Structure 1
Amino acid sequence: MIVKKIPIALFLSFFLFQCGGQEGVNEQEILFASRATQQERTAFKNKLTEEIIGGVSTSSSDSLNESAWQGAYWGMGMSHTRNAETKAIIQKGFTNYQKGSPAYRRGLLEAAYTLYPNDFVEECQSVLGQETHPKLFAMIAIYLHRAGVNQPLQAILEKRFPNYKEEVILAQLAYHLSGEQKKQLNNRPDLQALFAHQQQHGLPVIYSFQRLSRQFPGLAIVQRADGSFVKDEKGRVQTFPQLAMAASDMPSFLTNGNTPEGVFSIQGIGNSENVFIGPSPTVDMRMPFEAPKQEYFHSKDTSSWSMEDYLSLFPEEWKTYTPIQAAYWAGKAGRSEIIAHGSTINPEFFQEASFYPLTPSLGCLTALELWDEQTGALKESSQQELIEAFSAEAVTKGYYYVINLDDQERSVLPEDLVK
């Protein structure tokens, strides 16, 4: 989920990127983001490196001002700052692991996973043997699993947590360790059946098609209430670049992980006061368990949640395809506030990344937005185009499907969807 409140006063005032939306778009709003000017971005970078990260870097190893340390973890992770200084901060952080609170540990593990995938294997192996917190245990396990450590993680999980199947995060960890998601991807059901199923509810739908590796941008398309697709002036299905990768690139069942695969409920078009999301309208979405069933399904059903209800939004041949259950389980695990939005984050933080010039968030779907460095005026926005395409229906309720196409390591292209 996107953390709503973090006890880091300095970080809250300057850096916290929260994916949240507010109902109602001010149609008179001028799309101008002062935060996106070169002057503001330089000031932010200096603040980040000199005070937020630098302040922790110069502290003694036995000092544990959790507020400052967590601010540094978030700052270096969200900006993908990799250097000797940030590596040393994480190294020092592990020496304080047992003294820190769960929130401190989570920040440390997230930063290590985000920035240094192979550098802290020994440290993670050490704390794995001591950690009893389910979420933190899962974060350590996925670090070691990704690093290819030859360790019986499933057996350790079962011994440490005999009832792990009753804990959503641990059950999803077991699913992640099994590799079942990638195995099933080879037998993904036909998309045509999914498109046809939309007529069962007759509401507009946005589909976001992604790769299994979220480090490569995907594409969104819009299906109208009548089942047809929004097309451009040349008669082709209109596509909108979109990144479903979180800055951490952690699995979707964990806090600040990637956007879960599955279906979200569109509750309307909103906007955000968060300067890093920017002034472009947002698609306000809800996950299972985040919203009551009647709100999620746009109905009067007030019964309790069930997987059967969730799968009713898919055609029959999709119901046994377990990867699409990710949104259901992520919602049950407590994730929330995942929306589709623009971005004023400086893309230069990610200029070496495969998704450049898009920028990742904390688990939301982010669009490509480019801003004038001198004036802060919006130059290009796939988010604005997506909002216009969806809003043309004059219906602000609907559904948002996030679907992984395959495991190719390249961006999703329009011709991939034509096929």
Structure 2
Amino acid sequence: MHYFVSSALSAIALLLTANPPQPVIAQAPPIRAYQQKATDNARKDQILDQQQKAAPSRFDLQQYPISDRHLTHWQESLWAIGVLAPEKDYALQALENVMQLATANNLSDPQKAIIDTAFQVGHQLYTLKPAVYSQLKQQFLRTINDSTDPMWVAIAFSALSKAPIYPEINPNNGQGDRLQSAQINKLTQKVKQRFPKWAQDLHLKTTLQNINNGNSSVSQRSDLPNLKDLLAWKIAPQQAHMYVFCRPNRDVLCLTVLKDRNGKFVQQNRQLWSAPLLLQSIHNLDWNFTNGRTPQGIYRMEGVSRQPDDEYFHAYGQFSLVNLFVPFESGVTAFLPKQKGKFTGDLQAYQSLLPVSWRNYAPIQQTYWAGSMGRSLFRIHGSGAAIDFFSNKPAVVSTQNFDWNATLGCLSALEIYDDRGSLLKSDMPKILDALQKVGRGKIEGYLVVVDIPSDTDQPVTKEEVMKYID
């Protein structure tokens, strides 16, 4: 496991260090109708900052060797490439220069962290902008063939399995699916040969499972256990339960509904209370990687992380963040009521938190395995970034919900401003208020994420969910 978090996560890590979970008083602070950092001029400055950090001179290896001393420099510069997705040879070369170190020996932890960032950004650009970044294929293949790091091998294999340009074939010749399947099978055998204990490494095991399933959590609606059982179940008594229902295609919005401490679903204006959220990764990474999509499964919901000023406005908007904890994650007061501390049980103990019909359903176990792999810092939050800040956003977010921003694994709520910095709409006050009311002054309980397959890419609707509520 690599010990340095990416620069993209460092901001939230600092925020949470300064603002530990606050479960007692959960009321949202007053809404600030104007945000200077959301004005048109501020947006232009944000893009200019990214352009400066992605400038060709920043990737001069003689001036900035890939060393411990330049950890922040390289992570910020690589992140900026991911934001801007420049169609320039120097950006491709910069990624190649870092990724080729994946086969080097005696790397320090800061060097590994730089390589981590390069692989995540490389995965994003290779899978979402293959016309420009297709040459990264050779680095991914080299990693699979020669790297001893199972996580980098897993990300490389994930990228190759998703990219439409791998292998280079004519998709209209009728042989595309069969040839790609043959290539994937060949790489699968290569990985298993190089890592005989691959089944004991969670990154490799889950990646191979994801690829074998066609990079989908579940292929058919018939595979899904009865939602009625899940919605009627209580993970623990006298706890609020929030459910987030998504499509396997996370490009579209998810639907959130809420059950109070007595097991009754919250109503608003005589209708089922709901809120839309986006659970998509800007890096196009799967749930089993840091900064990947939000995993399915159980989260402990406990307190908020306040924003006393606008220092982190660009990343998280102006409102408090709702804290979510996966199994094995530190920082939680009590994952299970009356049992202090984090969840430390085995898989069977996790399964016992679910209704019987759901206990052997593999996708609902994702939070258990994600926590085992070290994923953390999941939050429900808004966004102060412009809706077009990420150049590759159209490739991972549907046009019908483009006002929502993709994240690095968190659950994204709507928060949009006009060019003058005036708040137009935000769902975080509604979410915070509902959680505070059902928690009787606290935000605590459980959140459960479930993908519901569909023949269409339309979001889950309230009418669809209401069929399973008694």
Q: Could you tell me the TM-score, scaled by structure 1's length?
A: 0.87
Q: CA RMSD in A?
A: 3.0
Correspondences of 1:156-235 after superposition (within 5 Å): 156-179=190-213, 181-183=217-219, 186-198=222-234, 201-233=237-269, 235=270
Decide whether the 8 Å contact of 1:211 with 1:404 is kept in 2: yes
Residue 465 of structure 2 is aligned to residue 417 of structure 1: yes
Looking at structure 2, the residues matched to 75 and 411 of structure 1 have their Cα atoms a distance apart, in angstroms, of: 31
2:177 aligned residue: none
Q: Pick from 86, 89, 92 the counterpart of residue 91 of structure 2.
A: 89
Decide whether the 8 Å contact of 2:253 with 2:278 is kept in 1: yes
SS in 1 for 2:160: helix
Query: What amino acid is the match of 1:245?
Result: Q
Residue 153 of structure 2 is aligned to residue 133 of structure 1: no
**Deviation (angstroms), 1:194:** 0.7
Looking at structure 1, the residues matched to 288 and 424 of structure 2 have their Cα atoms a distance apart, in angstroms, of: 35
1:96–1:284 Cα change, 3 Å:
closer
1:265–1:362 Cα change, 3 Å:
same
Deviation string for 1:346-365 (max 9, x for gaps)? 10235734141100121110
Looking at structure 2, the residues matched to 198 and 108 of structure 1 have their Cα atoms a distance apart, in angstroms, of: 42
Correspondences of 1:39-54 after superposition (within 5 Å): 39-49=41-51, 51-54=52-55
2:279 aligned residue: 244
1:186–1:292 Cα change, 3 Å:
farther
1:298 aligned residue: 337
Structure 1, unmatched stretches of 5+, are none
Query: What amino acid is the match of 1:260?
Result: P
Residue 385 of structure 2 is aligned to residue 313 of structure 1: no
SS in 1 for 2:412: strand
Residue 115 of structure 2 is aligned to residue 105 of structure 1: yes
Query: What amino acid is the match of 1:370?
Result: I
Looking at structure 1, the residues matched to 377 and 332 of structure 2 have their Cα atoms a distance apart, in angstroms, of: 16
Looking at structure 2, the residues matched to 200 and 228 of structure 1 have their Cα atoms a distance apart, in angstroms, of: 14
1:358 aligned residue: 404
Looking at structure 1, the residues matched to 120 and 5 of structure 2 have their Cα atoms a distance apart, in angstroms, of: 17
1:327 aligned residue: 367
**Alignment length (residue pairs):** 408
Deviation string for 1:121-154 (max 9, x for gaps)? 2332133211111111111010111125414232
SS in 1 for 2:146: coil
Decide whether the 8 Å contact of 2:3 with 2:113 is kept in 1: no
Q: Pick from 283, 299, 302 the counterpart of residue 267 of structure 1.
A: 302
Structure 2, unmatched stretches of 5+, are 103-110, 168-182
Looking at structure 2, the residues matched to 187 and 391 of structure 1 have their Cα atoms a distance apart, in angstroms, of: 35
1:292–1:385 Cα change, 3 Å:
closer
Q: Pick from 414, 420, 424 the counterpart of residue 368 of structure 1.
A: 414
Looking at structure 1, the residues matched to 305 and 387 of structure 2 have their Cα atoms a distance apart, in angstroms, of: 24
Decide whether the 8 Å contact of 2:126 with 2:159 is kept in 1: no
Query: What amino acid is the match of 1:328?
Result: Y
Q: Could you tell me the TM-score, scaled by structure 2's length?
A: 0.78
Residue 398 of structure 2 is aligned to residue 398 of structure 1: no
Range with bigger deviation, 251-260 or 142-151: 142-151
Query: What amino acid is the match of 2:197?
Result: N
Range with bigger deviation, 152-161 or 242-251: 152-161
SS in 1 for 2:424: strand
Looking at structure 2, the residues matched to 404 and 324 of structure 1 have their Cα atoms a distance apart, in angstroms, of: 9
2:172 aligned residue: none
Looking at structure 2, the residues matched to 227 and 26 of structure 1 have their Cα atoms a distance apart, in angstroms, of: 22
Looking at structure 2, the residues matched to 306 and 104 of structure 1 have their Cα atoms a distance apart, in angstroms, of: 33
Range with bigger deviation, 108-117 or 243-252: 108-117
Query: What amino acid is the match of 1:177?
Result: I
Looking at structure 1, the residues matched to 321 and 237 of structure 2 have their Cα atoms a distance apart, in angstroms, of: 23
Decide whether the 8 Å contact of 1:263 with 1:400 is kept in 2: yes
Q: Pick from 74, 79, 82 the counterpart of residue 74 of structure 1.
A: 79
Identity score, percent: 23
